[in-house]
Chain A
Amino acid sequence: MKSRSTVWTIFVLVMVFSALVSGCVAPTPQVIEKEKIVTQVVEKSVEKAVEKVVTATPEPKKAEQKVVRFAGWIGMEESTAKQFNYMVDAFQKKNPDVKIEYEGVAWENTRQQLLLEAASGNPPCAAQIAAPWIGQFAYSGAINSLEDKVGDILPNYAPGVVDAYTFAGADKKVHTWGLPWVAVHDTIFYNTALMKKAGLDPAKLPTTIDEFDAVVHAIAKLGKDDKGNRIWGYVTSTDRSELTANLFNTWLFNFGGDVLDDQGKVIINNEAGVKALSYYKKLVDDGVMPAGFAFRDQYNVMANYQAGGFSDGSYARDVLRLTSGKGNAFDADFAVALHPTTLGNPADPASHKSMFHHHTLVTFKQCKYPQEALNFIKFLSTDPEITLYYAKGSSLFPLYKPALKDPFYSQDAYAKTFQDGLAGAKLYSISKTPQYAQAVDFIAIAVSKALSGGDPKAALDDCAANLKVLYKQ
């Protein structure tokens, strides 16, 4: 009994002591509440008095701020961030009740981050994605179909582009899933300084695979630079990545191959596919191209005159200007040409195939302000002033024909090359399928397997077998 009463005594003492200590340290909530009420009463009476003196009319009610979250990599990359901020400011000036909230995502993470956000019920209202991912987003059920909402402007885009975004999604009905923003399709950037050094004429850029082969071999023969660094004839992504698969796909197109045919049947290991991968392998075996090369390293080697060329979209000009540290002066040391081909008439731009990675705009279903989100992506994609500003600042050209009427696009030789390239650009055959991510991994593995000593035919046969399981064939 004694110990029990001792415990209770200690308990009571502790409680009393705690109450005293807390009383010394800070006012209790009730005290704060009372003080608040008194302050509020005083403030309100003063406000009323001031109101009566200063104005006879009540202040207009402030419009509700509509926040539209936009996700993408545009605001994160040095070569495009400034342009994006300008576009957002311009839109917000035209739409003062809308606030664009930017969610920066690195290109490499965009696809999975947005799909995960959508699966967890928290996607942005609108986003920038790459065209090859459109199938995964369409099948996820997370994005809106756009044909009913922007049907009036869809016919005004460059031929074939909207068709690539129009296919059956999860609901088995054909819809248009994205709005084309800017053109990104592969061309070859040649290092003209190295071409001169190798005794080549930089004005004569290759149009066929044979011409290309001669140029890159001649550059690779330069051996090493003054610092002892290896000079490659051509570099491209050859590690295990999505870009390795996608850039190889352009070569595949130009040898007459594809991953799937029009009926969706796996054909990557046909004769054209084996020829394309064998050519890739030959470039590595001849010491012209490195295996296991990471995409982003291509800018460094090009800017440091250690590569004769690489494949990329139009934005690469600005990346090279920044990477070289020479700004616009570096333009004198490179030139751009359509992808070399084995098909048709090399003088016809349509013979030069490329895979398009066009930056694409989509809106998500779970959005509080769907109309504002739609207005924002329409603005980005079609406004002539904004698209021109973007094209001049970041070398990313619009796909909306009325915006392309500005003389800049036909007079600027660089812009014109990319306009010509649109004739041969098409979407990856696997891009309209939800299995895209697994498919590109199988292709990247096949490429890196062949380039690291494997047999191209065997690598593609393995890849085709995996793709057939994936596509249930």
Chain B
Amino acid sequence: MTTLGSEVEASPARKRFLRSFRLSNTGFSILLLLPALLILAFTIIYPLVRGIYLSLNSYSLVNFGAGIEWVGLQNFKTLLSSPDYLAVWWTTILFVAGSVGGQFILGFLTAIVLNQDLRQRNLFRGLFLVPWIVPTVVASLLFKWIYNQQYGIFDYVLRSVGLISEFKAWIGDPHLALFSVTLANVWKGFPFHMIVLLAALQTIPGEIVEASIIDGAGALGRFRWVTLPHLRYIIMIDLLISIIWTFQNFTMIWTMTEGGPVTATTTLAISIYRTAFQAFDMGMGAAIGAIWLAFMVVFSVLFVRFIGGTTRLEI
């Protein structure tokens, strides 16, 4: 058994080959990694460093002749003392929790159902993937029409079954808008969880399930003591990816509400766009991004530590 990260022992022939170029193992590894590292440096590291640098400056595109002015931590101080900025964080957390929670539960339930020996199982597996395949802009415009206060089918259906008496402005009312956008995002994103969890469910060995049945475990017991522990790492990765994606969600919210009404759907992504590309305050936009980045790094580490535990993956 070889654990990940352990050093692979080089064969004598390979060692001789490397020696002929006067390169150590490490040197050879660096040589191979160099092209990828260079690309990463230009596409990720430089923008990242530049973004952090901008966050410490005042730079407006409305007056780009004035150039960049060093302001130190002023942008961060302004942000952290602004109740509006804290409200944006709260909206983002609600949106992420609602979206990921809803997508995960719906995706997991669908995966469990589609893992059963059903007729036309493959057809349903394909059909349930449709929301994931539909481009986000198209899905957003679709939901914008579904929620339309004048013609929307959502209002029509709810009124037909007697749940509401008057058409409601689902994305026009600040009390309903975040819920409505989250619901649309749940629809759009649940197939991702479904397909990941379905694949993971199929890796559970049949013998373990049979053994648990023999030991007297019921359906819930099998789910709690066999399925969940087996899927633990997959669930962790699935949730982590989904949380990061949902934090970044811009297209759906912008297309449906542009962050409104009032500030009901203004998440961090919308806030950055409004600050940097509508108000053209690049320094402040970069500061929002820098805090967000720091939060995501800390969150990801803690998430993996607490949800994934401390056991290392083994192959």
Contacts and interface: CB of A to CB of B under 8 A. Distances in A.
A7 B258 contact: no
A240 B61 contact: no
B149 A448 contact: no
A139 B261 CA distance: 30
Contact of B279 (A239, A437, A445): A437
A136 B278 CA distance: 11
Given A4-B16, A240-B259, A291-B173, A139 B63 contact: yes
B131 interface: no
Contacts of A139: 62-63
Nearest to B176: A292
Nearest to A241: B258
A140 B17 contact: no
Interface in A19-74: none
A294 B256 CA distance: 10
Given A437-B278, A438-B279, A441-B279, A301 B150 contact: yes
Interface in A221-275: 229-230, 238-241
Contacts of A240: 257-263
A198 interface: no
Contacts of A441: 274, 278-279
B171 interface: yes
Contacts of A375: none
A452 B261 contact: yes
B278 A3 contact: no
Contact of A241 (B16, B65, B260, B280): B260
Contacts of A141: 63-65
A448 B281 CA distance: 24
Interface residues on A, range: 35 or more
Nearest to B175: A452
Contacts of B150: 229-230, 297, 300-301, 306
Contacts of A449: 174, 262
Contacts of B174: 292, 448-449, 452
A447 to B, nearest CB: 9
Contacts of A4: 16-17, 20
A115 B62 CA distance: 7
A3 B279 CA distance: 65
B237 to A, nearest CB: 36
A208 B63 CA distance: 42
A434 interface: yes
Contacts of B175: 452
B65 A290 contact: no
Contacts of A291: 169, 172-173, 261
Among B20, B60, B171, B280: residue with most chain A CB under 10 A: B280
Contact of A119 (B13, B64, B172, B281): B64
A142 B63 CA distance: 9
A62 B150 CA distance: 59
B interface residue count range (under 10 / 10 to 19 / 20 to 34 / 35 or more): 35 or more
B223 to A, nearest CB: 42
Contacts of A112: 277-278, 280
Interface string A298-320: 00110000100000000000000
A448 B262 contact: yes
Contacts of A13: none
Contact of A170 (B63, B151, B171, B261): B63
Contact of B63 (A3, A290, A434): A434
A362 interface: no
Contacts of A229: 150-151
A15 interface: no
Contacts of B262: 240, 445, 448-449, 452
B167 interface: yes
B13 A292 contact: no
Interface in B144-174: 148-151, 167, 169, 171-174
B125 to A, nearest CB: 37
Interface string A191-224: 0000000000000000000000000000000000
B3 to A, nearest CB: 30
Interface string A170-195: 10000000000000000000000000
A458 interface: no
B61 to A, nearest CB: 5
Given A7-B17, A290-B169, A434 B62 contact: yes
B261 A448 contact: yes
A115 B280 contact: yes
Contacts of A306: 150
A14 interface: no
A106 interface: no
A116 interface: yes
B63 A292 contact: no
A229 B149 CA distance: 10
A230 B65 contact: no
Contacts of A118: 64
A140 B172 contact: no
A129 interface: no
Contacts of A292: 149, 169, 171-174, 177, 260-261
A170 to B, nearest CB: 6
Interface of A: 3-4, 7, 112, 115-116, 118-119, 136, 139-142, 170, 229-230, 238-241, 290-294, 297, 300-301, 306, 434-435, 437-438, 441, 444-445, 448-449, 452
11 contacts: A3-B13, A3-B16, A4-B20, A112-B280, A230-B167, A238-B172, A293-B169, A300-B150, A435-B279, A444-B260, A452-B174
Given A3-B16, A434-B60, A444-B260, 6 more contacts: A292-B260, A297-B148, A301-B150, A445-B260, A452-B173, A452-B261
